[in-house]
Structure 1
Amino acid sequence: MTPVVFIHGLWLHSSSWQPWSDLFAARGFDPVAPGWPGESASVAEARSNPSAVAGLGIDDVTSHYAKIIADLPAEPVIIGHSFGGLITQKLLGMGLGRAGVAIDPAQIKGVKPLPFAQLRSGFPVLGNPANKRRAVSLTAAQFRYGFGNAIDAAESDALFNRWTIPSPGRPLFEAAFANFTKDSPAAVDTANASRGPLLLISGQRDHTVPDVVTRAAYKLYGDSTAVTDLKQFPDRGHSLTIDPGWRAVADATLDWLARQGITR
């Protein structure tokens, strides 16, 4: 069986991948969804102990998952959402992983578009420089704008109550200033021709990672001969991995993996 490593992004607990894990296991894969370094085992515990993840940066999280991958019995498929999608790209560029799927991935170095919706989504963190050293929680209204804008308000609130946790502010600062930082941790080896195939997935109503940002990342892979594909979902927002339409995204991921010859 091919291992699958699921990597969540900011403000969602690792257990939010459970429906995906169940689906992939039923299809013959061996899924795992480890949390970020220091992340508590449950949503309730994570909410009660935000300092456990305060100050974590992109390199910390990337190294954490690289070690997990090194201990697996076989080369895994890596699937990440939001900052997990950025980390997926970093790991794949490092030569780790049989294939990668980056869903609404946070912007990597070299991506230049910075839409207003993205700025507004990041403001709860970026609006205070001290948040670089803190763990920050979203309010239900902030989650509604950044994640749940493409679903109804009641469903957004339900997802907020079920899955959200405090997350470190530092990755947002690192990504926001990546193009002005020489050795930015948000840099990805987009020219690596020997890496596994990569699928970028975009929700075209996403406020946190607007479609134009994912398309800009896709273009950065133009110099690599490795497989790089883009799949866009109209009328989907940043909650596309956890909202009622998650299955369509998961099925598209499985179909793409099958086209790469990875079926179990």
Structure 2
Amino acid sequence: MSDATPTRTHPVLFIHGLWIHASSWRAWQDRFEAAGYSTTAPGWPGDGDTVEATRENPGALDDVGITAICRHYADIIDAMAVKPIVIGHSFGGLIAQELLANGYAAAAVAIDPAPVKGVKILPLSQLRSALPVLGNPANRKRTVALTREQFRYGFGNTLSAEESDSLFDQWSIPGPGRPLFEDATATFVRDSPAAVDTHHAERGPLLLVSGTDDHVVPLKVTEAVVKLYADNPSRTDFVKVEGRGHSLTMDSGWTDVADIALSWIAEREPELA
């Protein structure tokens, strides 16, 4: 951990996505702390303190859904002295957008974010990535772990097998099935927990980041989210990262993505309340 004294006004709160433990953010935290930010990376409700503890008690995540995750982070933010900048990956990116739209964040960075309600396309690679959960309706209330092969297709498709397997061994944890079912059915549910006010919410700036070769959240899905924000007067920026997959926050090229977020946040700071 960095010994740097925080010099920035807003802290940074990191939110992980499905199947990855919060400790995967540690290198990002060190980088942001060196740049003067205080940081925190709390896990989802039900996560253990470590990868091993979460793997040993997967049942603690059973039936944890999007609403519970949002409330969990909203409660954490309510206890903070200053409204944070939120950075989320995958489902963490969806949660980051919900927190921002509801006034809990000063700004947000959503990296390869799970689609919000209103995105109606479903690329084949996205469906294949979700099948380990969606293929069995009983998984809605269960916690499901990926195999190495499933992880390699969803997260590690742009990596060598060795690097993908190494990331799997380091960071993968079982994940609740409920968020995937909620996201997959969002179009048909009036009050879906995957809904975000993309049109009218008065909010801080938002950066959406997409790896061009992502299988879990393909580029065209994030592009569809960007279009949903087109009529919102608040600032929305979009960056594509060429040749990167869903592992972009933790693979050997993670610093490229971290520096995109860090530079954007530094530029936006004068705009933040």
Partner of 2:48: 40
Is 1:125 aligned to residue 117 of structure 2? no
Q: What letter corresponds to residue 229 of structure 2 in structure 1?
A: Y
What residue number does 1:204 align with? 212
Q: Could you tell me how far 1:120 is from its partner in structure 2? A: 0.2
Q: Deviations over 1:209-242 (max 9, x none)?
A: 0000000001100111100000000100000000
Give 4+ residue runs of structure 1 displaced > 2 Å after superposition.
261-264
Aligned counterpart for 2:96 among listed residues 88, 98, 104: 88
Q: Contact conserved, 1:111 with 1:216, CA < 8 A, in 2?
A: yes
Identity between Structure 1 and Structure 2 (%): 57
| Aligned partner (choices 87, 106, 117) of residue 109 of structure 1 | 117
CA contact (8 A) 2:102 2:201 kept: no
Superposition deviation, residue 96 in structure 1: 1.4
Deviations 1:70-94 (A, max 9, x none): 1111110000000000000001010
Q: For 1:29 and 1:111, locate their aligned partners in 2 and report how far apart those are by CA, in whole Å.
A: 34
Once residues 124 and 214 of structure 1 are traced to their aligned partners in structure 2, the CA distance between those partners, rounded to angstroms, is 22
**1:157 equivalent among 152, 165, 168:** 165
Inter-partner Cα distance in structure 1 for 2:236 and 2:62: 34
- Asked if 1:257 is matched to 2:265, the reply is yes
Q: Which runs of 5+ in 2 are unaligned?
A: 1-7
Q: Which residue is 2:252 aligned to?
A: 244
CA contact (8 A) 1:257 1:263 kept: no
> Which secondary structure state, in structure 1, belongs to the residue aligned with residue 39 of structure 2?
strand
Q: Which residue of 2 aligns with 1:228?
A: 236
TM-score under structure 1 length normalisation: 0.98
Equivalent residue pairs, number? 264
Structure number with the bigger relative contact order (C-alpha 8 A, sep ≥ 6) is: 1
TM-score by length of 2: 0.95
2:188 is the alignment partner of 1:180: yes
User: In the TM superposition, what is the alpha-carbon distance from 1:113 to its structure 2 partner?
Assistant: 1.2
Distance in 2, Cα, partners of 1:99 & 1:175: 23
Mapped partners of 1:263, 1:197: distance in 2: 8
Equivalent residue number for residue 167 of structure 1: 175
Distance 2:109 2:158 in 1: 22
**Residues 263 and 187 of structure 1: is their aligned pair in 2 closer, same or farther, counting only changes over 3 Å?**
closer
When the two chains are superposed, the root-mean-square deviation of aligned CA atoms in Å is 1.2
Conserved 8 A contact 1:80-1:88? yes
SS of residue paired to 2:12:
strand
Partner of 2:3: none
In 1, the alpha carbon distance for the partners of 2:163 and 2:201 equals: 42
Structure 1: segments with no counterpart, 5+ residues: none
